[in-house]
Amino acid sequence: MPFFQFIDLKYTQLNTQVNNYLSAVYNRASEVYSNASPFGQILNMLKNFYQQLVSYQKNVVTNQNIDSAGSEKAVRNLARIAGLNPTRAISATGTIILKLKPNINIAQQIGGGSIVITDKTKIKNNTNGLTYTIKLGTPTQVFTVSQSADIYLNIIEGTYETQSYTGIGEMNQTLSVNVPVSNTIDNFEVTVSYNNQVLTNRDNVYDMSYGELACIQRTGMNGGVDIIFGNSSFGFIPLLGTTIAVTYLLTSGTKGIILTPQINDFQFTDTVVDMNGQDITVTNLFDITVQDTVNFASDGESIAFTKSVMPFMSRNFVLATPDQYIFALKRLSMFSQINVYTSLSDTNMENDNKVFLFLIPMISNFFSGSVNYFNVPISAFSLSATEQSKVITYLRKVGNIPINTVISIIQLILSYYVMNIYVRIYSGYLQDTITQGIITNVSNYLASIERDDRIPKSEVLSQIQSVSGVDSANMSFVSKKNEDYLKLNQGSTNLLGLDPVLGDAMANPNELLVIRGGWSDSNYIYYNETFNGNQLGPINIYYVGVTDVNSNNS
């Protein structure tokens, strides 16, 4: 970089020398070569061209180094060259339930007493405005309707599209599936067919057997997806004129998460018919609910994460050691804390084939509008049985797991705390503004904290004191398990879940510290579950004084 700065400096001097030379040779005043003169404008144009050339050279050198590369395109290109396939966004998935409404006359209103739903039927969520797609696994499916049997349908956020290509009869033919910049292709929902026959997806060329109908899918260097075919020795060569179709899902990533589903919040945008072929209006006949939540979505790898993991890229696709599991799970961008361990070092040989996963969801994925750490649904802090199953399915997709390995996801124990904050502010600042600033800073900090042993009081205070208008502050934690203990052991000096010296909130093994109310302390003072500003809750801010910014006197 200093080399190019040196050139910039020398060119400025050279420009001055040229002006002086021309003035001396032609005995003309320097004003003739100013910006107002034609010759001065030509000189400026040449200077701008030169500066653009130097800028381009700087950019080329910068983007050839993974540490200094800044653009997403450059980082993806370097990752592909290094053998890393960056993870794209992952769509939220869930299950909706169709429950027949009371007083529906099946014989009169539903021909044949059954409905026919086509695979990839689209539905729309009224709250977030996004489109979801029903996945049946078969082209169509017939569902018998009754008051005693509900209809369960798997859904995935996004819409499917297909692009068609033609074989050219050359080895290692490569197709680039490009989509608009505003769209993202799901990391897993890509299907390639050759003359209407679905191809097997392989990790690399050497995984293909001789003549196998298979291909390789890679995140595109320019966005989208690249499809790579074989060379007959490994895989096959698409014949000239044959049809290749690529079907993919366009996803909105974490925007498709629905943590608090509402009844009848979906409407069918595609046609559903009865056994007589007559269109039916699903919302008139059925109540639509969501089983659990619509979740397990990701916005894909960030540039910073891709750059950080490139040096540790492994090409063996085996998941055996804790580090390999951590690498695979981090690529999901769904967890703020990940710890993986085995029990090989203990004396109990029965658990030697188990891999234990300690996973804390990335709470910030659920933030939107007024939703923050202090009012996000409590279910966001742990993985449901459905989400745990999705994690294990994901791991088996992305790596080869030894056949006798048992993956066990630790069920975290939520340990509840309340924060009491005491603030002295400078004059001229509004309390409401400072309150919002404190809530925002502390919320973002708690959502991104990577340690699982404690929440340091000093770090929380640094977030509070960084808010403009705060003069000084102090805070304390109230531990629910400590208050529950004091209710039964009045006068005890024991502290449970609190550091007696530093005042930090402390966690036991397999515990997750959560700042959340919904309980009362040993004095039976009740803290509301979420923050509302009017009553005691998970975070309580007390203003204890004002410092005059001019005199520093209260």
36-55 pLDDT, tens digit each: 777 777 777 777 777 777 77
Helix count and strand count (H, E) for the chain: 11, 29
129 and 193 in a single domain? The answer is: no
Instruction: Give the tokens for residue 24.
Output: 């001396």
State how far the Cα of 382 lies from the Cα of 417, in Å rounded to an integer. 16
541 and 445 in a single domain? The answer is: yes
State how far the Cα of 167 lies from the Cα of 150, in Å rounded to an integer. 46
505 and 389 in a single domain? The answer is: no
434 and 531 in a single domain? The answer is: yes
Residue 383 within any structural domain of the chain: yes
- CB–CB of 165/194 below 8 Å? no
Residue 49 within any structural domain of the chain: yes
Residue 245 within any structural domain of the chain: yes
Rounded percentage of the chain residues whose pLDDT exceeds 90:
57
- How many domains are contained in the chain? 5
pTM: 0.78
Asked if residue 452 has pLDDT above 70, the reply is yes
138 and 176 in a single domain? The answer is: no
Measure CA 434 to chain center: 29
329 and 371 in a single domain? The answer is: yes
For residue 18, what pLDDT is reported?
67
Mean pLDDT of 363-390: 88
Residue 351 within any structural domain of the chain: yes
139 and 202 in a single domain? The answer is: no
403 and 481 in a single domain? The answer is: no
Question: 98-128, pLDDT tens digit by residue?
Answer: 999 998 999 999 999 999 999 999 999 999 9
State how far the Cα of 298 lies from the Cα of 158, in Å rounded to an integer. 13
Asked which of 22-31, 460-469, 474-483 is least confident by mean pLDDT, the reply is: 22-31
Question: 211-223, pLDDT tens digit by residue?
Answer: 999 999 998 877 7
Instruction: Give the tokens for residue 490.
Output: 């009045």
Residue 150 — very low, low, confident or very high, per pLDDT cuts 50/70/90? very high
For residue 480, what pLDDT is reported?
96
For residue 367, what pLDDT is reported?
85
For residue 111, what pLDDT is reported?
92
For residue 490, what pLDDT is reported?
87
For residue 8, what pLDDT is reported?
46
Residue 376 within any structural domain of the chain: yes
Residue 262 — very low, low, confident or very high, per pLDDT cuts 50/70/90? very high
Quick one: which of 204, 165, 249 has its CA closest to 80?
204
431 and 537 in a single domain? The answer is: yes
Residue 79 within any structural domain of the chain: no
Mean pLDDT of 237-241: 95
Residue 403 within any structural domain of the chain: yes
279 and 360 in a single domain? The answer is: no
Instruction: Give the tokens for residue 3.
Output: 């080399």
CA dist list (Å): 346 to 137, 383, 408, 509: 44, 27, 17, 17
45 and 175 in a single domain? The answer is: no
Q: Which amino acid is at 401?
A: I
Mean pLDDT of 236-264: 94
Instruction: Give the tokens for residue 127.
Output: 């709250």
For residue 552, what pLDDT is reported?
56
Q: What is the pLDDT of the chain when averaged over all its residues? A: 87
- CB–CB of 356/408 below 8 Å? yes
State how far the Cα of 218 lies from the Cα of 215, in Å rounded to an integer. 10
Residue 32 — very low, low, confident or very high, per pLDDT cuts 50/70/90? low
Mean pLDDT of 148-177: 95
Which residue range is the domain that position 211 belongs to? 160-251
Residue 491 — very low, low, confident or very high, per pLDDT cuts 50/70/90? confident
CA angle 249, 254, 258 (to 5 degrees): 100
CA dist list (Å): 32 to 11, 14, 24, 41, 44: 20, 18, 12, 10, 13
- CB–CB of 102/120 below 8 Å? no
Task: Please identify which residue in the block is written with the tokens 């340690």.
Answer: 451
Looking at residue 412, what DSSP letter applies? P
263 and 396 in a single domain? The answer is: no
For residue 31, what pLDDT is reported?
56
Residue 79 — very low, low, confident or very high, per pLDDT cuts 50/70/90? confident
Asked if residue 544 has pLDDT above 60, the reply is yes
Residue 307 within any structural domain of the chain: no
Q: Identify the residue with better confidence: 552 or 345.
A: 345
